[in-house]
Copies of this chain bind each other. A is one copy, B any other.
Amino acid sequence: MELYGYFRSSASYRVRIALALKGLPVTHHAVHLVRGEQEAAAYRALNPSGLVPLLVDGDERIGQSLAILEYLDEVHPVPPLLPADPGGRARVRSLALDIACEIHPLNNLRVLRHLTQGLGLDEAAKLAWYRHWVALGLAAVEARLAGDARTGRCCHGDQPTLADAVLVPQVFNAERFDCPLDAMPTVRRIAAHCRALPAFEAAHPSNCPDAA
Protein backbone atom coordinates (compact mmCIF):
# COMPACT_ATOMS: atom_id res chain seq x y z
CA MET A 1 0.00 0.00 0.00
CA GLU A 2 1.00 3.61 -0.51
CA LEU A 3 0.09 6.54 1.71
CA TYR A 4 0.12 10.12 0.49
CA GLY A 5 0.31 12.33 3.56
CA TYR A 6 2.05 15.05 5.48
CA PHE A 7 3.83 14.48 8.75
CA ARG A 8 1.93 17.16 10.68
CA SER A 9 -1.48 16.49 9.13
CA SER A 10 -3.48 14.97 11.95
CA ALA A 11 -5.66 13.11 9.45
CA SER A 12 -2.50 11.49 8.03
CA TYR A 13 -1.33 10.75 11.58
CA ARG A 14 -4.60 8.86 12.26
CA VAL A 15 -3.95 6.58 9.29
CA ARG A 16 -0.31 6.00 10.27
CA ILE A 17 -1.53 4.89 13.73
CA ALA A 18 -4.01 2.42 12.22
CA LEU A 19 -1.41 0.99 9.82
CA ALA A 20 1.08 0.59 12.69
CA LEU A 21 -1.50 -1.02 14.99
CA LYS A 22 -2.23 -3.57 12.28
CA GLY A 23 1.44 -4.00 11.38
CA LEU A 24 0.84 -3.15 7.73
CA PRO A 25 3.81 -1.97 5.67
CA VAL A 26 3.28 1.15 3.57
CA THR A 27 5.27 3.34 1.22
CA HIS A 28 5.06 6.98 2.26
CA HIS A 29 4.71 9.77 -0.28
CA ALA A 30 5.10 13.25 1.17
CA VAL A 31 2.60 15.91 0.07
CA HIS A 32 3.91 19.14 1.53
CA LEU A 33 0.78 21.05 2.55
CA VAL A 34 2.53 24.31 3.47
CA ARG A 35 4.10 24.39 0.00
CA GLY A 36 0.71 23.65 -1.57
CA GLU A 37 1.67 20.34 -3.17
CA GLN A 38 -1.89 19.05 -2.56
CA GLU A 39 -3.06 21.53 -5.24
CA ALA A 40 -0.65 20.24 -7.93
CA ALA A 41 -2.32 18.76 -11.01
CA ALA A 42 -0.53 15.43 -10.54
CA TYR A 43 -1.91 15.07 -7.04
CA ARG A 44 -5.39 16.30 -8.03
CA ALA A 45 -5.44 13.55 -10.67
CA LEU A 46 -4.94 11.02 -7.87
CA ASN A 47 -7.27 12.73 -5.41
CA PRO A 48 -9.72 15.27 -6.87
CA SER A 49 -10.45 16.53 -3.34
CA GLY A 50 -6.91 17.88 -3.06
CA LEU A 51 -6.65 16.66 0.53
CA VAL A 52 -4.40 14.30 2.43
CA PRO A 53 -4.28 11.52 3.34
CA LEU A 54 -4.86 9.27 0.35
CA LEU A 55 -4.37 5.52 0.58
CA VAL A 56 -3.63 3.57 -2.59
CA ASP A 57 -4.22 -0.17 -2.34
CA GLY A 58 -4.03 -1.84 -5.74
CA ASP A 59 -6.75 -0.22 -7.84
CA GLU A 60 -8.36 1.51 -4.86
CA ARG A 61 -7.63 5.15 -4.13
CA ILE A 62 -9.23 6.13 -0.85
CA GLY A 63 -9.37 9.59 0.66
CA GLN A 64 -10.75 10.76 4.01
CA SER A 65 -8.96 9.33 7.02
CA LEU A 66 -12.02 7.80 8.69
CA ALA A 67 -12.99 6.00 5.47
CA ILE A 68 -9.42 4.69 5.26
CA LEU A 69 -9.56 3.45 8.86
CA GLU A 70 -12.83 1.63 8.21
CA TYR A 71 -11.39 0.14 4.99
CA LEU A 72 -8.26 -1.10 6.76
CA ASP A 73 -10.42 -2.62 9.47
CA GLU A 74 -12.55 -4.45 6.92
CA VAL A 75 -9.67 -5.73 4.78
CA HIS A 76 -7.23 -6.43 7.65
CA PRO A 77 -9.51 -7.14 10.62
CA VAL A 78 -6.82 -8.11 13.18
CA PRO A 79 -6.37 -6.38 15.57
CA PRO A 80 -9.80 -4.74 15.29
CA LEU A 81 -10.22 -0.97 15.43
CA LEU A 82 -13.88 -1.32 16.39
CA PRO A 83 -15.54 -3.42 19.10
CA ALA A 84 -17.83 -6.28 18.12
CA ASP A 85 -21.20 -4.99 19.41
CA PRO A 86 -23.17 -2.40 17.39
CA GLY A 87 -23.62 -0.14 20.43
CA GLY A 88 -19.89 -0.15 21.15
CA ARG A 89 -19.08 0.42 17.49
CA ALA A 90 -21.44 3.39 17.44
CA ARG A 91 -19.83 4.81 20.59
CA VAL A 92 -16.32 4.53 19.14
CA ARG A 93 -17.37 6.04 15.81
CA SER A 94 -19.23 8.90 17.47
CA LEU A 95 -16.25 9.72 19.70
CA ALA A 96 -14.03 9.79 16.60
CA LEU A 97 -16.55 12.01 14.82
CA ASP A 98 -16.84 14.34 17.82
CA ILE A 99 -13.22 15.21 17.00
CA ALA A 100 -13.14 14.66 13.24
CA CYS A 101 -16.30 16.71 12.58
CA GLU A 102 -16.44 19.20 15.45
CA ILE A 103 -12.80 20.21 16.06
CA HIS A 104 -10.44 19.30 13.26
CA PRO A 105 -12.32 20.79 10.26
CA LEU A 106 -12.37 24.19 11.94
CA ASN A 107 -8.64 24.20 12.63
CA ASN A 108 -6.96 22.71 9.60
CA LEU A 109 -4.42 24.60 7.54
CA ARG A 110 -6.72 25.82 4.80
CA VAL A 111 -9.26 27.20 7.26
CA LEU A 112 -6.59 28.97 9.31
CA ARG A 113 -5.21 30.47 6.08
CA HIS A 114 -8.67 31.64 5.08
CA LEU A 115 -9.06 33.34 8.46
CA THR A 116 -5.80 35.27 8.11
CA GLN A 117 -5.52 35.79 4.35
CA GLY A 118 -9.23 35.94 3.55
CA LEU A 119 -10.75 37.62 6.61
CA GLY A 120 -7.65 39.49 7.78
CA LEU A 121 -7.49 38.03 11.29
CA ASP A 122 -4.19 38.61 13.06
CA GLU A 123 -2.14 35.83 14.66
CA ALA A 124 -3.68 36.33 18.12
CA ALA A 125 -7.23 36.12 16.77
CA LYS A 126 -6.33 33.03 14.77
CA LEU A 127 -4.93 31.35 17.87
CA ALA A 128 -8.03 32.32 19.87
CA TRP A 129 -10.18 30.71 17.16
CA TYR A 130 -8.07 27.55 17.27
CA ARG A 131 -8.23 27.27 21.05
CA HIS A 132 -11.95 28.04 21.18
CA TRP A 133 -12.89 25.00 19.10
CA VAL A 134 -10.40 22.72 20.83
CA ALA A 135 -11.72 23.76 24.25
CA LEU A 136 -15.35 23.30 23.24
CA GLY A 137 -14.80 20.05 21.39
CA LEU A 138 -12.49 18.32 23.85
CA ALA A 139 -14.71 19.33 26.79
CA ALA A 140 -17.51 17.36 25.14
CA VAL A 141 -15.22 14.38 24.57
CA GLU A 142 -13.99 14.58 28.18
CA ALA A 143 -17.58 14.59 29.47
CA ARG A 144 -18.42 11.55 27.37
CA LEU A 145 -15.28 9.61 28.36
CA ALA A 146 -15.45 10.48 32.06
CA GLY A 147 -19.15 9.63 32.30
CA ASP A 148 -19.18 6.19 30.68
CA ALA A 149 -18.11 2.91 32.30
CA ARG A 150 -17.01 1.60 28.90
CA THR A 151 -14.03 3.95 29.00
CA GLY A 152 -10.89 2.04 30.01
CA ARG A 153 -7.20 2.65 29.58
CA CYS A 154 -8.25 3.61 26.05
CA CYS A 155 -11.38 5.43 24.87
CA HIS A 156 -13.34 2.17 24.76
CA GLY A 157 -11.94 -0.60 26.93
CA ASP A 158 -8.24 -1.31 27.12
CA GLN A 159 -7.40 -1.84 23.46
CA PRO A 160 -6.89 1.05 21.03
CA THR A 161 -9.73 1.73 18.64
CA LEU A 162 -10.51 4.14 15.87
CA ALA A 163 -11.39 6.70 18.59
CA ASP A 164 -7.87 6.61 20.03
CA ALA A 165 -6.37 6.91 16.56
CA VAL A 166 -8.29 10.19 16.23
CA LEU A 167 -7.86 11.44 19.82
CA VAL A 168 -4.07 11.21 20.00
CA PRO A 169 -3.39 13.41 16.93
CA GLN A 170 -5.93 15.95 18.22
CA VAL A 171 -4.15 16.12 21.59
CA PHE A 172 -0.84 16.50 19.73
CA ASN A 173 -2.32 19.49 17.87
CA ALA A 174 -3.78 20.96 21.05
CA GLU A 175 -0.38 20.84 22.72
CA ARG A 176 1.34 22.32 19.69
CA PHE A 177 -0.99 25.32 19.90
CA ASP A 178 -0.75 25.60 23.71
CA CYS A 179 -4.42 24.79 24.30
CA PRO A 180 -5.12 24.32 28.03
CA LEU A 181 -6.02 20.72 28.83
CA ASP A 182 -6.19 20.97 32.63
CA ALA A 183 -9.94 20.40 32.68
CA MET A 184 -9.58 17.21 30.61
CA PRO A 185 -7.91 14.62 32.83
CA THR A 186 -9.47 11.62 31.09
CA VAL A 187 -8.43 12.85 27.66
CA ARG A 188 -4.88 13.42 28.92
CA ARG A 189 -4.70 10.06 30.66
CA ILE A 190 -5.83 8.12 27.59
CA ALA A 191 -3.59 10.08 25.24
CA ALA A 192 -0.58 9.46 27.52
CA HIS A 193 -1.35 5.74 27.69
CA CYS A 194 -1.74 5.39 23.93
CA ARG A 195 1.28 7.49 23.04
CA ALA A 196 3.48 5.13 25.00
CA LEU A 197 2.39 2.18 22.84
CA PRO A 198 4.89 1.23 20.10
CA ALA A 199 2.39 1.69 17.24
CA PHE A 200 1.50 5.22 18.31
CA GLU A 201 5.16 6.04 18.83
CA ALA A 202 6.02 4.78 15.34
CA ALA A 203 3.24 6.92 13.85
CA HIS A 204 4.27 10.15 15.59
CA PRO A 205 4.93 13.08 13.24
CA SER A 206 8.54 13.32 14.37
CA ASN A 207 9.08 9.75 13.16
CA CYS A 208 7.55 10.39 9.75
CA PRO A 209 9.94 10.28 6.74
CA ASP A 210 8.99 13.85 5.72
CA ALA A 211 9.44 15.37 9.20
CA ALA A 212 11.47 18.55 8.94
Q: Which residues of A contact B (CB under 8 A)?
A: 48-51, 59-60, 62-64, 66-68, 70-71, 74-75, 86-87, 89-91, 93-94, 97-98, 100-102, 104-106, 111, 114, 118-119, 121, 125, 129, 132, 140, 143-144, 147
Q: How far is the CA of A144 from the CA of B118 in the complex (A)?
A: 26
In the docked arrangement, what's the CA distance between A50 and B70, Å?
26
**Known contacts A86-B75, A140-B49: A93-B105 contact under CB 8 Å:** no
Q: Across the interface, do A86 and B74 meet the contact criterion of CB distance under 8 Å? A: yes
Contacts of A70 in B (CB 8 A): 89-90, 93
Q: Separation in Å of the A168 CB from the closest CB of chain B?
A: 18
B105 and A66 contact, CB distance less than 8 A? no
A140 to B105, CA, bound (A): 16
User: Secondary structure of the A side of the interface?
Assistant: helix
Q: Are A50 and B101 in contact (CB under 8 A)?
A: no
Minimum CB–CB distance for A198 against chain B, Å: 27
Copies in the complex: 2
A129 to B114, CA, bound (A): 9
Assuming the contacts A70-B89, A106-B111, asked whether A94 and B63 have C-beta atoms less than 8 A apart, the reply is: yes
CB–CB B59/A98 < 8 A = no
B74 and A93 form a contact (CB under 8 A): no
Within the complex, what minimum Cβ distance (angstroms) separates A80 from chain B?
14
B60 touches A90 (CB 8 A): yes
Beta-carbon contact of B62 and A90 below 8 Å = yes
Contacts of A63 in B (CB 8 A): 94, 98
**Contact yes or no, B48 A67, CB < 8 A:** no
Complex formed: what's the CA distance from A67 to B111 in Å? 25
> Contact partner of A101 among B64, B89, B93, B140, CB < 8 A?
B64
With both chains docked as a complex, state the minimum distance between the C-beta of A145 and any C-beta of chain B, in angstroms. Answer: 9
Instruction: State the CA gap A70–B69 with chains docked (Å).
Output: 14
Query: In the complex, which residue of chain B has the Cβ closest to the Cβ of A88?
Result: B60
B93 touches A64 (CB 8 A): yes
Query: In the docked arrangement, what's the CA distance between A105 and B108, Å?
Result: 12
